[in-house]
Chain A
Amino acid sequence: MAAIGVHFGYTCACVAIFKDGRADVVANDAGDRVTPAVVGYRDTEQIVGIAAKQGRVRNAANTVVRVKQILGRRFNDPETQTHKGETKCQVVSRGEKPYYEITAGDHPEYVAPEDVAKLIFHKMKETAQSALGSDVSDVVITVPFEFAPNQKRALREAAEAAGFHVLRLIHEPAAALLAYNIGQDHTSGKSHVLVYKLGGTSLSVTVLQVNGGMFRVLSTHTDHGIGGESFTQALAQHLASEFKRTFKHDVSSNARAMLKLMNGADMAKHSLSSLGSANCFVDSLHDGIDFECNVSRARFELLCSSLLNKSIQPIQLLLEKAGLSASSINKVVLCGGSARIPRLQQIMREMFPDVELLSSAPPDEVIAVGAALEAGLLVGSDSFVLEEESVTVDVSAADILIKEVDESGAEVLTVLLPSGMPLPARRHHVLSGGGKQSSLCLDIYQRFVMEQPEQLSKIVFRDLQPSEADHNIDVVVTMKRDGSIHVSCVEQTTGKSEVVTITAAAAAAAAAAS
């Protein structure tokens, strides 16, 4: 079963296909694995992708960029107003909703953001289908975590209008985790993952808890003010000042020259991620003067140092908000094209010294890969539709612990069942006691976060045969959905067993009432 995953970002869109158990990003007809989410309108045609982005120099008024920003928003939404101020394409209000005014043809046309998104989705679909060679239309699309239901609906409708069958919308950080196969191999253990996404125009940092194979977002932070374009902007400013210094011409007031310079700076920025220095060359930048400038990586880092600091800052705040420290993060996932910046990776490494920094996959493709993996999962399990947008599950409220002694004889508590496990859950442990002892005692505790553990139950084995070997006891802890715990213990050599059932608080109250 083949399926498609699409990451539809503010600046770029990326499509991956799931086929034969693998998810791969597909290159578009221009040979790029990431397609700029830019639509250019001409009098006879609409162009999507790199051609539209480059054509923006000449056709800025009829080129729509960053459509995701106003997708599904009302006209009087502050975000829409911001977008209106930034874009060079006219945004008008029609019935409370924003529309683009396109003046490519004889008459001005009004294009809804959904239609623009539809064109981009259509392009992604074509790309995927040309790689698959068949008309697979099952797709999973990623959305930012902060997307409101209206925006999700608009995105879904746009995708459906483009001919997709939308299996599900998933959140970008979750898709990134899927792509790195976090928590999918085995269900034991609880871990915290930080997903750091620095895209074209937005920064989003999310802390997730992975438990029992499920992801739970603990806290998230989004900043639309910073992204790859900010870096490009900074570099372009630098180039403009260089130009002014050399040729005594100020290009900052020339919109087209600045766009050209931005394109040049963009390319230079990309090569600086892998090379120590990059050449920026712009033909006929101003008054027919060609511009050439060499930028070193150090220079670029210097230019962007304040931006880099700004993009790192939210992490600390977020961790504080989630009540975690940098050491309690187990993994850090980098995604978004700007996460390629070597300096940024270095800063992250310094920030999380003992943590695995996951950046092996190209960061701007990770999310699409995750979406494709999810699509592969969904398309296998046929005709299962998730009705609600958000899903709640029952999880255990407290850690379930057992008291043991370590070699030095001090008492320690070992986790049998961590808090936050999706219920119902079952855990199997083998505990051992000293072979010389004729009796063993299992003290079961529960512990809420930051609280003293309280004892729930005590299980006692008596009349054991003292022997050289340790007594091994199989302990199976099962927790039902309401929170009631069932602990069954079997002594391996003798086959003696003890079973206790600890009812949950609410259930106990109900039982007492009846």
Chain B
Amino acid sequence: MLLEALDGEETVVLRAGAASVQVQVEPVGRWFEAYVRRRNRNASASFQELEEEEESSEESDDEEFQLQEYPVLRTLDPKDWKNQDHYAVLGLPHLRYKATQKQIKAAHKAIVLKHHPDKRKAAGEQIVEGDNDYFTCITKAIETLSDPVKRRAFDSVDPTFDNGVPSKSEGKENFFDGFAPVFERNARWSSKKHVPKLGTMESSFEEVDNFYSFWYNFDSWREFSYLDEEEKEKAECRDERRWIEKQNRASRAQRKKEEMNRIRTLVDTAYSCDPRIKKFKEEEKAKKESEKKAKAEAKRREQEERERARQAELEAARLAKEKEDEEAKQVAQQAKKEKEIQKKAIKKERQKLRTTCKNWNYFADNEAESVKMMEEVEKLCDRLELTSLQSLNEVLASGSKEDSKAAVEQQVREVNAQLQREKDAEVQARQAARSAEQASGGGGGGGKGWNEEDLQLLIKAVNLFPAGTNARWEVIANYMNLHSTSGMKRTAKDVINKAKNLQRLDPLQKDEINRKAFEKFKKEHSSVAPSIDNAVPSERFDASGSDGNAAPWTTEEQKLLEQALKTYPVSTPERWEKIAAAVPGRSKKDCMKRYKELVEMVKAKKAAQEQVAAKSKK
């Protein structure tokens, strides 16, 4: 609720208001945008006023422009409208393609006011009836220019446009004056705005590069539909329309191509004439050259450096080697000298020992002993080291005869013991070597031990399967594996090697083996016999005893046995008595035993053969 005014009060301004202050605000929001837009337009009014103003400015923005009267307007033939300059008709020849849509509208309005047939009729002018009046030209002009597509088509073939391209010779003489206006002129066809300028001699490389890349990729909106010979709209049917369209398209494409060629020629000419390009090229070349030079220089320097380093290294290596050699030589000399000294010393000591010993008469009483002692002393001289010799000599020099003798004898004992040890060691080594040899040689391929039994078994097997048996060595190996007590598995190869080894052995050794085998056999089989055997080895002993004759079967006996076995078949009563009778010197038991052995042998033989056959089959 407002206050009531007191008497005498009047509308008055008492004081000035506070000045505005400036503060920072966040650049966001629509109010901010509106504010900044206003400020940019330098307006200072309140919101509504400004918004209204904005509206009206659109209308009143039209700047004043003069219309230029077209002197031949009245004489134009409306039928020939296509070849007329529509801008000139509307009185805008000075603006042409730069005229805004608004200006064109305004110009049309003005010109219609002046040239409309009704107006002229009112002014008392003679009017040509129908379409033949020149006013039709104005209608056509506004028709063309108010439609953006049609206007562009007309602009494209603007009769006042100079399509000319400066020639090379012209360009060379005065490049910038010659080309700048041409490029500016053609820039109007660019679909992109902000066409780069040709620039001056001082333009940077980027500018020039940008300029040429723009013009080489020039995107022109110029098109040539205005020059179409036939009008599509005039066609009477679809086919005709299509045909016209095709014709037009072809001619337009042709013209467009020509236009692109024209631009291309222009840019090509400019590029070839451009003094700046030449300058850049030269600069580039110079730069490259200098870079190359610098590179070569750097390379050379590097090489030199490397060479020098290598030389230095070699020199150092050589020096080091020389020094080393020198040192080695000195060391060698030193060593030699020392050796010589030592040798001399030893010699001296030895001499001393000998003389001392001699002086003591070799601590011996008789001749023989002294000779022996002499030998021993000589041995000592040979064997003892310098130091021990020295100490010995000292003892000899200082001590009495007994002491000396004891010392010498002790030394002699020690030396002898040493010699003995060495000898033993040698013998042992030799033995070891021999045994190793035996082990490797005797074992054939695998170094498997062959004990007596195995050897025996091998000999037996070899005899059992004579040469010519099918897969003889496999069979033998199998036989061995079956019968060996040592449990070692032997291959055919092992067996062959051993057999060959045995063959190579001198007959003496073979005999030895056989004998050994026999002894063993005897040991095993006859617990009583040995004494008898040993006592009378030459006597034939009739084996009527419980044990029977353990002597091996001779071939003759064998034959007799076989004959007897055949003569008396299994069914014969008292068979074994009869067989024993047939074989002289053998008891019934012997024969049975022998038979069993034979049967076993045959069985084993068969089994071995079968196994090998099976293996080979596989």
Contacts and interface: CB of A to CB of B under 8 A. Distances in A.
Interface stretch (A101-109, A168-176, A237-245): A168-176
A505 B4 contact: no
Nearest to A473: B2
Contacts of B26: 170-171, 173-174, 208, 214-217
Nearest to A210: B29
Contact of B31 (A174, A212, A424, A432): A212
Which of B3, B12, B44 has its CB near the most chain A CB atoms (within 10 A)?
B3
A471 B2 CA distance: 9
B233 to A, nearest CB: 37
Contact of A170 (B3, B12, B14, B28): B28
Nearest to B43: A424
A82 to B, nearest CB: 28
A214 B1 contact: no
A457 B21 contact: no
B22 A394 contact: yes
B169 interface: no
Nearest to B8: A460
A411 B2 CA distance: 10
A125 B9 CA distance: 68
A360 B189 CA distance: 55
Given A381-B33, A425-B46, A397 B24 contact: no
B37 interface: yes
A455 B9 CA distance: 14
Interface in A455-514: 455-462, 471, 473, 478-485, 498, 500-508
A440 B29 CA distance: 40
Contacts of A394: 20-22
A76 B39 CA distance: 42
A398 interface: yes
Given A171-B26, A184-B31, A391-B27, A457 B1 contact: no
Contacts of A183: 29, 31
A229 interface: no
Contacts of A177: 28-29
A392 B15 contact: no
Contacts of B30: 184, 213, 377
B531 interface: no
A292 interface: no
A381 B37 contact: yes
A485 B14 CA distance: 13
B22 A432 contact: no
A379 B32 CA distance: 14
Contacts of B1: 404-407, 432-434
Contacts of B37: 381, 384
Nearest to B28: A174
Given A384-B37, A390-B24, A441 B9 contact: yes
Interface in A399-428: 400, 403-407, 411, 420, 422-426
Contact of A456 (B15, B19, B44): B15
A480 B23 CA distance: 16
A393 interface: yes
Contacts of A378: 33
Interface stretch (A255-263, A300-308, A342-350, A442-450): A442-450
A460 B13 CA distance: 11
A274 to B, nearest CB: 32
Nearest to A502: B17
Given A378-B33, A381-B37, A443-B3, A397 B10 contact: no
B47 interface: yes
Contact of B16 (A396, A422, A431, A505): A505
Contact of B17 (A178, A432, A473, A503): A503
A479 B2 CA distance: 22
Contacts of A370: 28
A460 B22 CA distance: 33
Contacts of A500: 11-13
A456 B37 CA distance: 32
A439 interface: yes
Contact of B11 (A384, A454, A498): A498
Contacts of A216: 23-26
A392 B22 contact: yes
Contacts, number: 204
B5 A439 contact: yes
A409 B472 CA distance: 147
Contacts of A168: 27
A85 to B, nearest CB: 34
B46 A424 contact: yes
B22 A395 contact: yes
A456 B14 CA distance: 5
A397 B21 contact: yes
Contact of B32 (A213, A424, A426, A503): A213
B588 to A, nearest CB: 85
A508 B21 CA distance: 15
A482 B4 contact: no
B22 to A, nearest CB: 5
B34 to A, nearest CB: 8
A396 B19 CA distance: 7
A482 B16 CA distance: 12
Given A440-B3, A442-B2, A397 B28 contact: no
Interface in B27-69: 27-33, 35-37, 39-40, 44-48
A458 B12 contact: yes
Nearest to B4: A437
A458 B14 contact: yes
Nearest to A486: B46
B18 interface: yes
Contacts of A462: 5
Contacts of A178: 28-29
A431 B15 contact: no
Interface in A360-400: 370, 374, 377-378, 381, 384, 386, 390-398, 400
A220 to B, nearest CB: 12
A478 B17 CA distance: 13
Contact of B4 (A396, A433, A455, A501): A433
A426 B45 CA distance: 9
A448 B18 contact: yes
A433 B3 CA distance: 7
A327 interface: no
A397 B31 contact: no
Nearest to B48: A426
B29 A454 contact: no
A458 B4 CA distance: 12
B23 A441 contact: no
A309 interface: no
B467 interface: no
B20 A377 contact: no
B45 to A, nearest CB: 6
Interface string B78-115: 00000000000000000000000000000000000000
B536 interface: no
A67 to B, nearest CB: 25
B27 A481 contact: no
Contact of A483 (B20, B24, B44): B20
A484 B29 contact: no
Contacts of A170: 26-28
Contact of B14 (A175, A217, A403, A455): A455
Contacts of A498: 11
A433 B28 contact: no
22 contacts: A174-B28, A215-B26, A381-B33, A381-B37, A393-B23, A394-B20, A395-B22, A398-B18, A422-B25, A426-B48, A439-B4, A446-B17, A455-B15, A460-B5, A460-B10, A471-B2, A480-B44, A482-B19, A500-B12, A502-B16, A502-B17, A504-B18
Nearest 7 Cβ contacts at the A-B interface: A213-B31, A426-B46, A433-B2, A483-B20, A174-B26, A441-B5, A439-B5
Given A174-B26, A183-B31, A481-B20, 4 more contacts: A213-B32, A214-B35, A393-B35, A396-B20
Interface of B: 1-6, 9-33, 35-37, 39-40, 44-48
